Structure 1
Amino acid sequence: MPGWPTVDRADDQELVEALRHADADAPAKLYDSYGERLHDYACTLIEEREVAGDAVHDALVTAQGCVDRLKEPVRLRAWLYALTRFQARSRLSHRSGTPVEGMPLPDPGEHDDPELADLVYETLGELSRNEREVLVLSLRHGLTPAETGAVLGLTSRQVTSRLGRARDHLENAAAAVVLARTGRAHCPDLSAMVDSWEGPLTPLLRRRLSGHIGGCEVCTEGRDRQISALRLLDMVPVAFAPLSLRRRVVDTCVNPERDQTRTLITDRGDNFDRTGFPVAAGGRSRRRGTRRLAPVVLAGACLLAATGAVVAINGRDASSGSALPSKPSPAFSVAESPSPEPVLEEDEEEPSFSPSPTPSATRPARRTPSGRPVATRPRS
């Protein structure tokens, strides 16, 4: 992508080593390598340039102060994008109302084909947030599927799938405009849809043409030959950072008088996983809440199990003819039991009870010493 310097993996290794050794020139080198890239990416997340610049500033200050958290120096590029995304999303989450996301609309005079440029912006706005980020990170910024997945918290397979959907959506939309002008002679169906149409395509007609192009071999071939998602993204101007941002980043990183500011920034962003990548605060709090709840659930399960076991033993004693009290034991009376529903369910499911309707039907008859049977009252 033109507009920012090319940085290879060997340069990333050198940058990490310079940061870890507290090289005085390391913050400036880091900004010169990635500052413009990160600012352009931040502007795809936050429309206001000033807020996007603040996110990049805090991300680079955090990178300088927390570089030891990064376990693999070769992943520096993805790590910096992840830090920038963390800072941008944090600012959006603290806003009241609907957060403002996405890239601002271009000036129609900036492009030779204003209709196609407007279409690119409109189509990017139709994508889901993750699909748009996958497209921008993979094509505009050149990250690999593994790097893009590390930034967004996705697997490489998920990145590949979403990239394919986003690319097809963008290219089909652009092909609708381009082939409506140039491809009528190659596809009779396309020609029939647009022959009577003049001027810019309406959104409804564009969607119809996009659907046709996606299922037509002739139009798909024309799309692949004339349309490229990478070239379409080049129509979005690079969001260059103001010159003051570089001075702010370097000053915060190296000026002893900014120690307190530097500490506040790094502490606010000090939330990393075991590989050193930032983790949203909500994810950690939910895990802690689950750990706190687990002992309570376990204690409740043990209480229910113990209660069920005692009831089962009493039931087996009753079926085997052992003497039982005429009234429920106070310790396990239904009125005093802390959880009567589980106890009743255990009684109903206990297989050792006799299927006879009353206990007296199965209890042996009592006899006097002379051998005569004695009438007994049924147990209440």
Structure 2
Amino acid sequence: MPSLREDLVSGWPTLDRRDDERLARSLARSGEHVLSGPPPGDATAPFQAAGTFQAADTDALARLVDAYAARLFDYCHALLRDQEQAARALHAALLAAYAHAGRLSDPASFRAWLYALARNECLRRLRDPRRPAERREAAEVEDVFLDDAERTRRLATRRLVHAALGDLRGPERESLDLLLRHGLEASEVGAVLDLPPARADELIRQARHRLDEALAVAVIARTGRDDCPEVAAITGSAVGEAPLPPAAVRRLSRHIEACPVCRERRSRTVSTTRLLQVLPIALMPADLRPAVLSAASDPARFDRLPAAADRAEPFDEDGWPVSLDGSGSGDGEDEARRQPPRFWPALAAAAAVLLIVGVGFLLMPGSSGGTNANGTPHPSGSSEADPSDTPDSSSGPSETPSPTRSGSPSPTVSSTSPPPRSPSPAHRSPRPVVSHSTPPPEPSHTVPAGRLAVSPGSCALSAQKTECPVTVVAIGGPVTWSVGAASPLSASGGGTLHAGGTGHATITLTACDASGSGTVSFTPGGSVSVSWTCQ
């Protein structure tokens, strides 16, 4: 029986791998009878001959439905975004699993095998030209223990996660969903997506890096305004109200790289795993379970079982369903890499929404926020960086998002040689230990010159409001600063700041004869655009 402990991400019951294997073997024994089918022209014959054995068949299928139907429906719904289509796909996949479980050579891979069957059924429907254009999404599983405040916060957090996930490529979104919400291992994710283990590992690392980066930048946009006025100057009034423009997100990310104050904040990251907890879980229709069971036990509906079994063909020599993505050419992946990167728009949208949510998902410095690409937890105190976490050149800045966005997966093309079908732990060579044959050089005692960050970047004055306070911060080293202005403006302030030190200036409208605008300049760098309105 499945464990009663709930999965930390999805809330589904945690399934023991040994239960998976027992269920696979039970279904395999059932399949020996199911695959034989009824004699031609006699739909009732197998039921008359089976006797008590037929009840055992139905029991195995019922245990499969009870263990996996809810989570598989959520997965199908994520791909199809339609309740009826997802229910039909899952109905067919469960019947196919019932019929073909005996073909699976390794029962240990049963979980990934189920998801591969369900995915093929979804892809088949996505490619069907008769697929209805109208979508009706399923209701979500409600958490009755949430109060109004928690529910509001959860909805805001969902907007954050959807904004960040929405600009990842289809395979990236799907890999994170399978890994973090559905609890598959990285090797199993690769098997479901028809990818070799190394490529699946790379896909997962890249997807997690992009999400983690988006969320970390969003946290700095929300919490770094007081400590670093340049953050406020970059984000401006858009914070908390609308997504930052991609150019602003690009500036903010560059600023973080150069700013020691913000870099320190960046070491506190956001838990991708915990954020994914708030994504809605699609509610499986109540009539799906009896419909699946009756298709395998009701003589009047027996034709549905062999139809589903036939549609799931072909299978390879290991009993694995041949992926509908499996052209083996690699063109799909090359095309995906040629598409305009969507990283920066994702950061922009995520940064805006997190400002509404707050910082409830912050972790301690060095924490990766959950599991690594293999699904194992990272030590919370580790700060060791994996070189593979660095994004490739395809992740570079892009001011323009791709013109099409879809919640359905982008087909992931397999390699020319079929990947191994039995999920197994990924084998990595140990990280090299760097040793120094000579003592490291003494650190330089030269103090680098800093630069001045000025905030806000603009002020609006009037006859009623004649003063504008300005905050300056020394970034990267000590700074000696001053400020100057031309009539009808004046400015006061100046001095020397240590690295990270804060100073203040005041811009004053000394006369208001006519409306106008001007610029107040700071030395060694920075300016404030000032406008004034006179009645």
Quote how far apart the aligned CAs of 1:185 are.
4.0
- Please say if 1:190 is aligned against 2:231: yes
- Aligned partner of 1:180 among 202, 209, 221: 221
What is the aligned partner in structure 2 of residue 374 from structure 1?
A: none
What is the aligned partner in structure 2 of residue 255 from structure 1?
A: 298
Q: Secondary structure at the match of 2:192?
A: helix
String of CA shifts for 1:260-297, please: whole Å, max 9, x gaps.
111111011121122222114685899xxxxxxxxxxx
CA 88–244 in structure 1, closer or farther in 2 if over 3 Å, else same: same
String of CA shifts for 1:91-139, please: whole Å, max 9, x gaps.
01113699899x8999999541544421311222211111111111111
Q: Secondary structure at the match of 2:153?
A: coil
CA 100–65 in structure 1, closer or farther in 2 if over 3 Å, else same: same
The structure with the greater share of residues assigned to helix is 1
Quote how far apart the aligned CAs of 1:142 are.
1.4
- Aligned partner of 2:271 among 203, 217, 228: 228
Q: Is the 8 A contact 1:119 1:173 kept in 2?
A: no
- Please say if 1:272 is aligned against 2:288: no
CA 121–210 in structure 1, closer or farther in 2 if over 3 Å, else same: farther
Q: Secondary structure at the match of 2:268?
A: helix
- What is the one-letter code of the residue matched to 1:83? L
CA distance in structure 2 between the partners assigned to 1:11 and 1:258 by the alignment:
29
Greater shift, 145-154 or 208-217, is seen at 208-217
Q: Matches of residues 113-192 of structure 1 in structure 2 within 5 Å?
A: 114-187=155-228, 189-192=230-233
CA 198–144 in structure 1, closer or farther in 2 if over 3 Å, else same: closer
- What is the one-letter code of the residue matched to 2:207? A
Q: Is the 8 A contact 2:154 2:278 kept in 1?
A: no
Q: Is the 8 A contact 1:27 1:64 kept in 2?
A: yes
What is the aligned partner in structure 2 of residue 49 from structure 1?
A: 83
Q: Is the 8 A contact 1:175 1:210 kept in 2?
A: no
What is the aligned partner in structure 2 of residue 11 from structure 1?
A: 19
CA 282–204 in structure 1, closer or farther in 2 if over 3 Å, else same: closer
CA distance in structure 2 between the partners assigned to 1:104 and 1:190 by the alignment:
40
CA distance in structure 2 between the partners assigned to 1:78 and 1:285 by the alignment:
20
CA 124–197 in structure 1, closer or farther in 2 if over 3 Å, else same: closer
What is the aligned partner in structure 2 of residue 333 from structure 1?
A: none
What is the aligned partner in structure 2 of residue 72 from structure 1?
A: 106
Q: Is the 8 A contact 1:271 1:281 kept in 2?
A: no
Q: Is the 8 A contact 2:175 2:204 kept in 1?
A: yes
Q: Secondary structure at the match of 2:69?
A: helix
TM-score by length of 1: 0.66
Quote how far apart the aligned CAs of 1:184 are.
2.9
CA distance in structure 2 between the partners assigned to 1:280 and 1:226 by the alignment:
36
- What is the one-letter code of the residue matched to 1:279? V
CA distance in structure 1 between the partners assigned to 2:298 and 2:95 by the alignment:
12
- Please say if 1:29 is aligned against 2:63: yes
Greater shift, 2-11 or 25-34, is seen at 2-11
Q: Is the 8 A contact 2:70 2:284 kept in 1?
A: yes
CA distance in structure 1 between the partners assigned to 2:215 and 2:291 by the alignment:
40
- Please say if 1:38 is aligned against 2:72: yes
Q: Is the 8 A contact 1:31 1:60 kept in 2?
A: yes
Q: Is the 8 A contact 2:215 2:269 kept in 1?
A: no
Quote how far apart the aligned CAs of 1:170 are.
2.1
- What is the one-letter code of the residue matched to 1:7? L
CA distance in structure 1 between the partners assigned to 2:255 and 2:314 by the alignment:
46
- Aligned partner of 1:208 among 220, 243, 250: 250
Q: Is the 8 A contact 1:172 1:210 kept in 2?
A: no
CA 159–111 in structure 1, closer or farther in 2 if over 3 Å, else same: farther
CA 252–199 in structure 1, closer or farther in 2 if over 3 Å, else same: same
- What is the one-letter code of the residue matched to 1:50? E
CA 243–209 in structure 1, closer or farther in 2 if over 3 Å, else same: farther
String of CA shifts for 1:198-220, please: whole Å, max 9, x gaps.
43242415633673487467656
CA distance in structure 2 between the partners assigned to 1:261 and 1:88 by the alignment:
18
Identity across matched positions, percent: 36
CA distance in structure 1 between the partners assigned to 2:92 and 2:177 by the alignment:
22
Quote how far apart the aligned CAs of 1:188 are.
5.4
Quote how far apart the aligned CAs of 1:221 are.
5.6
- What is the one-letter code of the residue matched to 1:39? F
CA distance in structure 2 between the partners assigned to 1:254 and 1:212 by the alignment:
63
Greater shift, 182-191 or 104-113, is seen at 104-113
Quote how far apart the aligned CAs of 1:254 are.
2.7
Q: Secondary structure at the match of 2:302?
A: helix
**Structure 1 unaligned blocks of 5 or more:** 287-380
CA distance in structure 2 between the partners assigned to 1:255 and 1:220 by the alignment:
64
**Structure 2 unaligned blocks of 5 or more:** 1-8, 31-55, 143-147, 330-535
- Please say if 1:243 is aligned against 2:286: yes
Quote how far apart the aligned CAs of 1:197 are.
4.7
Q: Secondary structure at the match of 2:314?
A: coil
String of CA shifts for 1:125-160, please: whole Å, max 9, x gaps.
211111111111111111111100000011222222
CA 116–65 in structure 1, closer or farther in 2 if over 3 Å, else same: same
Q: Is the 8 A contact 2:116 2:323 kept in 1?
A: no
CA RMSD of aligned residues (A): 3.4
CA 192–112 in structure 1, closer or farther in 2 if over 3 Å, else same: same
Q: Is the 8 A contact 1:171 1:223 kept in 2?
A: no
Q: Is the 8 A contact 2:124 2:324 kept in 1?
A: no
- What is the one-letter code of the residue matched to 1:199? G
Q: Is the 8 A contact 1:46 1:100 kept in 2?
A: no
Quote how far apart the aligned CAs of 1:48 are.
0.4
CA distance in structure 2 between the partners assigned to 1:245 and 1:231 by the alignment:
30
CA distance in structure 1 between the partners assigned to 2:62 and 2:255 by the alignment:
48
The structure with the greater share of residues assigned to strand is 2
CA distance in structure 2 between the partners assigned to 1:104 and 1:179 by the alignment:
35
CA distance in structure 2 between the partners assigned to 1:112 and 1:285 by the alignment:
44
Higher Cα Rg: structure 1 or 2?
1
Count of paired positions = 286
What is the aligned partner in structure 2 of residue 337 from structure 1?
A: none
